[in-house]
Amino acid sequence: MAARMRWSLLQLIRSRNTTVTTHVRCPVNTKIHCYSQLIGQSLRKVLHGPVSDFGPTQLLVRHLSIQTQDTPNPRSLKFLPGKPVLGTGTLDFPTPQNAECSSLAKDLFEIEGVKSVFFGPDFITVTKADDDVEWTNIKRHAVEAITKFFDSGAPITTGVSHHESSHSEDDDEIVSIIKELLDTRIRPTVQEDGGDVIFKGFEDGTVKLKLVGSCTGCPSSSVTLRNGIQNMLQFYIPEVDDVEQVEDEVDEVNAKVFSELERKLHDS
C-alpha cells in the first residue's frame, strides 16, 4: 500500500509539472525578488528589497546580444548570450584550476577580480572576489570574452560531464521523489537566479544538497534552504526532517586556499 501511494505521488508531481510552478527563490537586497513557500496547495509570494540600479541591462557587441542580470548574490552576475551554453545540465568552476576543460572559463578567470565561473544551460554566472571590486570592468571584459568565444565556434567544454538529473534504478522511493521535486520544482528557479542545487544524499531524515553558482557564498542561501527547499520537501515527504548544505572535500580545500590567499593579499 505504501509503495502504491508513493508511486501515485510521484506520478502526480510529474503530471502537474506543466501546470504548477512553485518558486523557491531567496530574497535579495539588490532588486525585487520573490520566493514562494508552499502552504497546503497555495503559494505565498514575498517581495523583498528595492529595485536595483543594476537591473537587467543589454550590451550589444558585434552581432551577439548579451544580456546581464543581477542575482540574489551581490557578488554574482548572470550573462545570457541568447544561445545555448551547455544546453542541458550545469558545470561549476570554483577555481582557475577547475577550468582546464573550457577555454571560455579560462578566459573569464583571466579577468581581474573574477573568483569563480559557472555554466548553465543558457547562461554564464561570473562571481567576483570582493565587494570592493567594481562590476564595470568585469562586465566589459566578460562580454568581450564571451562574444569572442561564440564567434570562434569552439566547443564549450572538452571531456567533462555536466551536472543534471541523476536518477538511478537503485534509488529507493523517497530518494526518487526528492530528485523529482528538485528537477521539476526547485532547480528551474534556482537556475533562473544563476545557480543550481545538486543532490548529494539522503540519510537519517536529512537531505544533503550542494548549492553552486551564484548560490555559493550567497548571504540568502540559508533562507533558500529553510523557507523554500526544506518546506517543500517536508510537505510532500514526511520522512524529511532537515535539509543540510554540504560541500565536496575538494571544494573545502579550495575555499581554504583561496581564503589564505585573500588574507595574504590584504595584509600586503
Cα 60 to Cα 50: distance, rounded to the nearest angstrom: 27
Q: How many CA atoms lie within 13 A of 181 on its CB side?
A: 25
User: 67-152 adopts what CATH topology?
Assistant: Ribosomal Protein S8; Chain: A, domain 1 (3.30.1370)
For the domain 173-251, what is the CATH code? 3.30.300.130
Give domain limits for the chain: 67-152, 173-251
**AA letter at 52:** S
Residue of 212, 238, 240 lying closest to 224 (CA atoms): 212
Indicate if 173-251 has the same CATH topology as 67-152. no
Cα 210 to Cα 244: distance, rounded to the nearest angstrom: 8
User: Which three-class secondary structure string do you get for 104-172?
Assistant: HHHHHHCCCCEEEEEECCCCEEEEECCCCCCHHHHHHHHHHHHHHHHHHCCCCCCCCCCECCCCCCCCC
Q: What is the pLDDT of residue 45?
A: 34
Total Cβ atoms within 10 A of residue 210: 19
Q: Cβ(125)–Cβ(138) under 8 Å? A: no
Q: What is the pLDDT of residue 65?
A: 87
Cα–Cα distances (Å) from 236 to 20, 126, 151, 212, in that order, read: 15, 34, 46, 24
Q: What is the pLDDT of residue 16?
A: 60
Positions in the chain short of pLDDT 50? 19-24, 26-54, 59-62, 250-258, 265
Cα 191 to Cα 174: distance, rounded to the nearest angstrom: 24
pTM of the predicted structure, to 2 decimals? 0.71
Number of H helices, E strands in the chain: 8, 11
